[in-house]
Chain A
């Protein structure tokens, strides 16, 4: 049988039982595209302004009316940046604390999540509620207690202090995300097979569960890394000493101390440079953000 008219075909493509005219379909498509474009402009405009400004002179940036397209492109800000702001030192600091916090949050988060996903024990529901409840507290209200705790531990102005703080902030999210991941994507049969094969609970977790949970682990790693990388509040509270500053605090301090006026193009160049490691980190880890690693394991 062949279709001789477009009518039956259109009838089968209806959704929800309502027939839509081609004009209504076009209008919907246009509205979706328009909203998407507006959202993109809203998100990308500051980024464009930052990148554009980094290739201008300070004088050109401050021109009125503003120049949306630079009249002259210069790399001078990138050449001078390293002499005026210790940007590379700040970036290394940020890489170190963000990577360490991401590793710590992923390891602790995965271990805790595995226990909460697989074992039943008294007060487990209370644990889960408490973990969720931490997400309801505004970060600023935690500032004083956390500052006091880090100070009491003698970890103020130390990498260890800020790494512990960052990992701690990400842990509730990491635990809940990975718990869900383990429950939905890691069949218990795999661990049981590993136990029968000769594993302990820990080695089953280490050798079987972790390797097949890379998408979940990658999500947690990226989340913690980017949170730590982008943080300004905690880094300025806990790690404000000159050479140890993270890149956000370093650029912020330089800008606040007057550099933001005279050297606005340098600040913008430093900001562009500061986004690159985070971008590389995302590109490196995102290849693990794929599903299907457990394909073929069961059934």
Chain B
């Protein structure tokens, strides 16, 4: 276990500033996931942490020791690569024991630790095989086994599940999480898959354009995204975004869209003046079918029953909207329905900067 400190870390490739200025603290035994779209700098950051990329500026410390100038082998880290990066000319056992061999450990110790790791990962019957004789999931396990035999201070995972099929990914997600619960080693994990981030992380770091957008627990980020970027990135289906202008007096009471459609916003006061351009966000599961004249009218283009839920995909005014309703609903494609949302579940973002605008309940005013 170890702490990790990134202090004002910068990375420049020629004239391109990949990471402008980034600071982050990771605690002992924490499972931190860096998530963001392709090119946001998350893998660069992980590679700098591993020592595979130089640091242009700032400091990286592992367990309090600055490691900027240390080679990867001097950092006491282990890394699982997206491509697995197994040594093709070695058997599973040799792959797993390679680092211990380089470290000068005895054959008996190597065999014992490889066997131990192989049992944890259910690889004990595959130790004599070469990587070419393994399935994708088994190769992924070997890559993890190669890391855990070393008992390093920090595990680094670079999109380790992205080459697996959907079913195996779900299984491996659970295995990695249970491995972390068992070993309690500090993990920094990179992914662009927000579901992986939400389901596995103790804390998520959402990155965009080389900078941290928000750091927090999965539910903090889900419930109170600090920006429109975070709100749209986390959650599947993604949060619905309805841009418009605030209307009403003393705290907004309606959102007027560019085509004149008005969405009533009852029960909340928005800390923004009327007439301000905003984006109202609402998660698909927070929308429901309204009765009578409540809510706002939506045209449903597609109905997708998933068994446990029904997805209604359509439009409110000119903007696409997705509504996720538990169970099954008698709505047909092409029909018009009225959708309403719990006011407490509404999010507002500045129309220009995308920054979150706080809302307050208007209970006292009633």
Contacts and interface: CB of A to CB of B under 8 A. Distances in A.
Given A200-B71, A299-B163, 8 more contacts: A192-B85, A195-B72, A196-B73, A197-B73, A295-B132, A296-B133, A297-B83, A297-B86
13 contacts: A187-B83, A192-B52, A193-B87, A195-B51, A197-B146, A197-B150, A198-B99, A212-B88, A293-B88, A295-B132, A296-B131, A297-B85, A298-B84
B139 interface: yes
Q: Please give me the 7 A-B residue pairs with the lowest Cβ-Cβ distance, nearest first.
A: A296-B132, A296-B131, A298-B83, A198-B102, A189-B85, A193-B85, A297-B88
Given A296-B130, A296-B132, A299-B83, A198 B89 contact: no
Contacts of B82: 189
A196 B89 contact: no
Given A197-B73, A197-B146, A200-B73, A298 B85 contact: yes
A297 B81 CA distance: 11
B32 interface: no
A117 interface: no
A200 B102 CA distance: 10
A190 B85 contact: yes
Interface of B: 50-52, 71-73, 77-79, 81-89, 98-99, 102-103, 130-134, 136, 139, 146, 150, 163
B244 to A, nearest CB: 46
B145 to A, nearest CB: 12
Contacts of A187: 83, 85
A59 B55 CA distance: 81
A197 B142 CA distance: 14
Contact of B89 (A192, A194, A211, A298): A211
A198 B152 CA distance: 12
A151 interface: no
B99 A295 contact: no
Given A189-B83, A297-B88, A297-B131, A196 B77 contact: yes
B84 A299 contact: yes
A85 interface: no
Given A296-B132, A296-B133, A296-B139, A195 B85 contact: no
Nearest to B73: A198
B81 A192 contact: yes
A295 B52 CA distance: 24
A155 interface: no
Given A296-B131, A296-B132, A296-B133, A199 B85 contact: no
